[in-house]
Structure 1
Amino acid sequence: MAMSRSPPPTPQVSGFIKDGERRFKTIKFPCEWVEDYHPDGYHPVVLGDIFHNGQSKVIRKLGEGWFSTVWLARDLRYVVMKITVSKSSEPTNETVILRLLNLVPEGIKHVTQLLDEFDHQGPNGIHKCLILEPMGPTVNTMLEELPQFKGRPFLPKLKVRYPYWMAKGILKQSLDIDSKPEDKLRQKEDVQAGSISPPVERLDGKQDRWAPPYLCIAQPLVYPSDYNQGFTIKLSDMGGAYFIKEPPAKPITPAGLRTPEYVLTSAVNDTMDIWSFGCLIFELLTGLPLFCVPWYPDETDRDDEHLRLFTARLGPLPENLYRHWKTSSFYFTPERKLYNCALGGVPQGEEPLMLEEPSMEEAFDQAELDIDEGEARKVKALIRGILQYDPAKRPSAAKILRDSWFLDDEVKNGSS
């Protein structure tokens, strides 16, 4: 699914564009920013393009990100081709990590497999191309395929959630498309159908050698499946992956999944994914984010909202974290009671209006899942055990898998 984003400043390229100037007419379609087609940027791709010495033909766009576009291609079978921006043509953490995972047979089951890689020369430079196995719909896209969503395209996703068994299966662990004929999967070059953008046009009316003639709208793979017959999930897009001993200064993490220590001190540690997983247990089961952090123009406002939600859902921040919150007095009395700052603070001589927000457990119960009290108690205990303010107290992935909430299913299925 294409994500909307504010366009970054266009880099200056000698003899190509003046710093900060735009080249193209605006394209109001959900796709990559057209100004990112420049030397060291995206490789221009159109449907039907051939890669890898004639081996791979592009037939559909699957998505795009900051550093790559992703396409369905036809080789001897269907494959996914990820084309990085040319400035990333050297091996990155993503390619190195995918190569290593290919050496671990048991790791392949739930991780997208790297099948091949090659370099492609284009007008914007040399691009690293990764050939990956094709996957089914993303967790987000698959939600739209559930029966309760069908025929109701404008129903907010917050009103739809996975069946409990399905959400639990996704958490614990895509589908095969090779039997599909190419004409069923090939993306149509049709502006009216919303599959491609109108023609890419320069503001000065000149031809452009760095951009494609049109942009493709991402069409993730979704096709009829009987999810009741079981499914397998895989982790994909290792663009933000890194080695534990070589953490980046700024990890790529959705705002609502950040750890308290990262929000307050930018501390990076090897439990960040564990914290994110705890948040995702809540979200996949209830259909609601545990920490709904809106976008704010000012990062301080965003962080303050996240920190306020930590306190509401999980309890007071420990002193070693709280002292780093420079704007905490906007939200808390000296006794650390939360008040409604949105009303303009506490008038002289008056008491603050205290806020009442549900804890994690109360918010979980309010979702009214169709599970018994004992099951609900187990999952809430697991989430609470994961979302520890002290990183040293967060459980490992192996320990989480040994939790009774997961082990119960193995006992029911007769596995050990």
Structure 2
Amino acid sequence: MGTSSPPTPPSRALIDGERRFKPITLPCEWVEDYRPGGYHPVVLGDVFNRQYKVIRKLGEGSYSTVWLARDLKNSGYVALKILVSEISGSTTELRTLRHIIEVAPVEGTRYITRLLGEFEHRGPNGIHKCLVFEPMGPSVNTMVEELPQFKPRRRGMKIRYPLRMAKSILKQSLQALAFLHENGIAHGDFQPGNILFALDDVDSMPEDLLRQEEDVQARSISPPVQRLDGKQDKWAPRYLCVAQPLVPFTCYAEGFKVKLSDMGGAYFFTDPPTKPVTPLGLRAPELILTGAVNNTVDVWSFGCLVFELITGQPLFCIPCSEMEDDDHLLSLTAKLGALPDEFFKHWTTSSLYFTPERKLFNCQLGGVAPGEEPLMVEQTTMEESFDRAGPDLDEEEAHKVKALIRWILQYDPAKRPSPAKILSDPWFCEIDVENDSSKVSIV
């Protein structure tokens, strides 16, 4: 084992041959990102700002880790979001949250996870902005698999929210979008992973009930983090924690609430970003083709989410690859119809798939290889995909939902309805989220 101190790791993305650690196979953040500019090393029991004692990991993302912490001064619990140190100063997330508190403090807490405080923490990897939020439950993306009707899991089971829940989630998240847009803010990363369920009252619960165990055998934490050279590393934690969302304490019965979270991709309408963070399958066509960012990218994402929550399947399933844009544009053409000329002219590789008359002749990504025949696959419209998924709707309501999705997912951004306009659609008017008394009961 080496005894000399290891060199400071570079404050940039790794290149081949620069890995410091033995691989960790548990579902955690990448251990190599514990470096200057990266994550702050946290272990259970750490105290931040002389006030917040970390007792459980709630999640992680590309730019932060999120922890459940006990508030030692005010009792109760908070969610502590620790940003990577390369994001310093007043972040866009912080600016938008402060703006919401300033212009609509009461209404904002109804729709957006509530910011309770902020501070900076100095660690081996730099100065980290730390945001203190109200604790929330799992995301809409993950909670569906925790519902009791899907346990035990059986072959052929359709894992999707009961219609009552799906409609309530959609309306509540749409109300949150309408609130943001009315205040000149776009969320920028509207997706199921950023819609969180509210908790039952956890403040009265004993810490022992909420604390994450430091147990390698139970796979709640990783084995010890080890450098390849055997030296001690001061930039990484002793172990990584597996995220344990507060599923047992989450309210999903009648009257449940959800809120929008993670304003890290948010922007003011007057100051759109040059590079948005929208997930691949939820990108509006103008984002793919021209990189144009407008006020309706959230609306497009919401239209995709209507399809996904009602059917249990994503409308556009686009794996990350070198050909992801072509893949997405071919899917758009199949599901929603031909792109308008104004968009199509920006598709620089369209000749790999379409004749000069814009007739589809090949679906093989990257074009037809020499000596090979063009590949053609069945072109399934959005409506056909919707019906094949067999959602729990009668024919009349299914027709309403498909028409709603078509209305939202218009190629021309200027023709897309605002969130407030979508809320006035009769299908949404039927849903009373205050009492969660939509006309369809849970299945």
* Cα deviations by residue, 1:264-288 (Å, 9 ceiling, x for unpaired): 1111111100000000000011001
Q: Distance in 2 between matches of 1:263 and 1:156?
A: 35
CA offsets 1:259-316 (integer angstroms, 9 cap, x no match):
11111111111110000000000001100111111222x1xx1111100111111110
Which residue of the partner structure matches residue 187 of structure 2? none
Cα distance in 2 for residues equivalent to 1:89 and 1:267: 27
The answer to whether the Cα contact below 8 Å between 2:255 and 2:433 also exists between their aligned partners in 1 is no
After TM superposition, the structure 1 stretch with the greater mean CA deviation from structure 2, 355-364 or 122-131, is: 355-364
- Taking structure 1 as the reference length, what is the TM-score of the superposition? 0.88
Change (3 A) 1:44 1:347: closer
Task: Report SS of the residue matched to 1:206.
Answer: coil
Aligned to 1:124: 125
Instruction: Identify if the C-alpha distance between structure 1 residues 412 and 219 changes in structure 2 by more than 3 Å, giving closer, same or farther.
Output: closer
| Offset at residue 244 of structure 1 (A) | 1.6
**Cα distance in structure 1, aligned partners of 2:156 and 2:387:** 21
Aligned partner letter, 1:337: K
* Equivalent pair of 1:12/1:18 in contact (CA under 8 Å): no
Of 334, 342, 367, the match for 2:356: 334
Q: Aligned runs of 1:225-304 on 2, under 5 Å? A: 227-296=252-321, 298=322, 301-304=323-326
Tell me which residue corresponds to 1:81.
80
8 Å contact kept, 2:199–2:249? no
1:410 CA displacement: 4.6
SS of residue matched to 2:298: helix
Of 29-38 and 176-185, more deviation after overlay is shown by 176-185
1:217 aligns with 2:262: no
Give the equivalent residue in structure 1 for 2:190.
Answer: none
User: What is the CA deviation profile of residues 155-185 of structure 1, one whole-angstrom value per residue up to 9, with x for unaligned ones?
Assistant: 688x311111110100111022223321121
Query: Does 2:71 match 1:47?
Result: no
Deviates more, 1:387-396 or 1:200-209: 200-209
Deviation string 1:213-237 (CA, Å, 9 cap, x unpaired) is 1111111110165633220010011
- Structure 1 pair 11/68, CA: closer, same or farther in 2 (3 Å)? same
- The answer to whether residue 370 in structure 2 is matched with residue 385 in structure 1 is no
Query: Secondary structure of the equivalent of 2:150?
Result: coil
Question: Distance between the aligned counterparts of 1:326 and 1:156, measured in 2?
Answer: 41
* Alignment root-mean-square deviation, CA: 2.7
- Cα deviation for residue 107 of structure 1 reads 2.0
Give CA-to-partner distance per residue, 1:19-67, whole Å, 9 cap, x none: 96222222122111112112222111100001112x1110001111111
Give 1:3-402 correspondences, 5 Å limit.
12=10, 21-53=18-50, 55-75=51-71, 76-103=75-102, 104=104, 105-152=106-153, 159-173=158-172, 174-176=198-200, 177-223=202-248, 227-296=252-321, 298=322, 301-342=323-364, 345=368, 355-402=377-424
Displacement of 1:411 after TM fit? 12
Q: Structure 1 residues 320 and 13, CA, compared in 2 at 3 Å: closer, same or farther? A: closer
How far, CA to CA, are the matches of 1:145 and 1:151 in structure 2? 10
How far apart, CA to CA, are the structure 2 residues paired with 1:42 and 1:224? Answer: 28
Which residue of 408, 422, 429 corresponds with 1:407?
429
Matched letter for residue 37 of structure 2: D
Deviations 1:238-264 (A, max 9, x none): 111111211111100110000111111
Alpha-carbon spacing, 1:225–1:199, altered in 2? closer, same or farther (3 Å): closer
Are 1:339 and 1:355, in contact at CA under 8 Å, matched by a contact in 2?
no
Larger relative contact order, structure 1 or 2 (CA cutoff 8 Å, min sep 6): 2
User: Residue 18 of structure 1: CA displacement?
Assistant: 10
Residue 334 of structure 1, CA deviation: 3.0
8 Å CA contact retained: 1:337, 1:354: no
Structure 1: give runs of 5+ residues left out of the alignment: 1-9
Deviates more, 1:134-143 or 1:360-369: 360-369
In 2, Cα distance between the equivalents of 1:342 and 1:19? 31
Give the letter for the 2:265 counterpart: G
Indicate conservation of the 8 Å contact 2:76/2:204, yes or no.
no
Q: Decide whether the 8 Å contact of 1:41 with 1:86 is kept in 2.
A: yes
Conserved? CA contact 2:335–2:381, under 8 Å = yes
Secondary structure of the corresponding residue to residue 144 of structure 1: helix
Q: 1:191 to 1:381 in 2, by over 3 A?
A: same
Secondary structure of the residue aligned to 1:383 is: helix
Query: Structure 2: which 5+ residue stretches go unaligned?
Result: 1-7, 173-197, 439-443
- Contact preservation (8 Å) 2:150, 2:159: yes
* Higher deviation after alignment, 95-104 or 73-82: 95-104
Question: In the aligned structure 2, how far is the partner of 1:82 from the partner of 1:226?
Answer: 22
Equivalent pair of 1:12/1:19 in contact (CA under 8 Å): no
Change in Cα spacing, 1:364 to 1:412, as seen in structure 2 (3 Å) is farther
Query: 2-side partners of 1:72 and 1:383: how far apart?
Result: 37
**What secondary structure, in the 3-state scheme, does the structure 2 residue paired with 1:74 have?**
strand
| Amino acid aligned to 1:91 | S
2:192 paired residue number: none
Superposed CA offset, 1:134-174 (max 9, x none): 1112102211122332122x8688x3111111101001110
Cα 1:187–1:155 shift into 2, 3 Å = farther
How far 1:358 sits from its partner (Å)?
A: 1.9
* Count of matched residue positions in the alignment of Structure 1 and Structure 2: 396
Alignment-derived partner of residue 3 in structure 1: none
TM-score if structure 2 supplies the norm length? Answer: 0.83
Tell me, yes or no, if the aligned pair for 2:10 and 2:35 is still in contact at 8 Å.
no
- What is the rounded CA distance, in whole Å, between the counterparts of 1:346 and 1:41 in structure 2? 42
* Partner SS for 1:127: strand
Q: 1:382 to 1:120 in 2, by over 3 A?
A: same
Letter in 2 for 1:192: Q
- SS across alignment from 2:149: coil
